[in-house]
Amino acid sequence: MTLHAFTDGASRGNPGESGIGLLVRTETGDTILAEHGYIGTATNNIAEYTALVALLKRARRWTCSRLVVHSDSELMVRQVNGQYRVRDEGLRKYYEQVMKLLAGTPFSVEVLHVSREENRDADRLANRGIDARKRIKV
């Protein structure tokens, strides 16, 4: 079974108040996770990585053969896929955490770049996280 995850990080200001959104659907479109939360002050790139970390930690409990992660963060997707180096020291610890989580998953994970329009539901969740100011466990 393949699961499709949509992640997004939002920052009002850069850095500024930030939130994350996580959405996971089955192949048939059933939603199995829709979560949002507030992460405090962060840059947009840190919020994007934080959303991916939160997703990968939650993914451990799912039974699937493949997880396809959709993100509108071209920078993060290209870094995770090895197309870009991580030059920003502030992002490096998040990148390393993602790579460690990916190495420990019992199923295959594919991280894809999608347009903002294709990721609008996760974006809404990330902005709801900022509005609600409810901290999320990452």
pLDDT of the chain, 138 residues: tens digit per residue: 999 999 999 999 999 999 999 999 999 999 999 999 999 999 999 999 999 999 999 998 999 999 999 999 999 999 999 999 999 999 999 999 999 999 999 999 999 999 999 999 999 999 999 999 999 999
Interatomic CA distance for residues 130 and 42, integer angstroms: 11
Show Cβ contacts of residue 115 under 8 Å, excluding neighbours closer than 6 positions: 72
Q: How many CB atoms lie within 10 A of CB 5?
A: 25
The dotted CATH code for 2-132 is 3.30.420.10
Strand partners, 112: 70
Q: What is the pLDDT of residue 119?
A: 98
The strands making up 108-113's β-sheet, listed across from edge to edge, are 31-42, 16-25, 2-13, 66-71, 108-113
Do the strands 16-25 and 31-42 form a parallel or antiparallel pair, or are they unpaired? Answer: antiparallel
Q: What is the pLDDT of residue 44?
A: 97
- DSSP one-letter code for 89: H
Q: What is the pLDDT of residue 115?
A: 98
Distance of CA 41 to the CA centre of its chain: 17
Interatomic CA distance for residues 44 and 50, integer angstroms: 10
Identify whether 106 is preceded by a cis peptide bond (ω within 30 of 0).
Answer: no
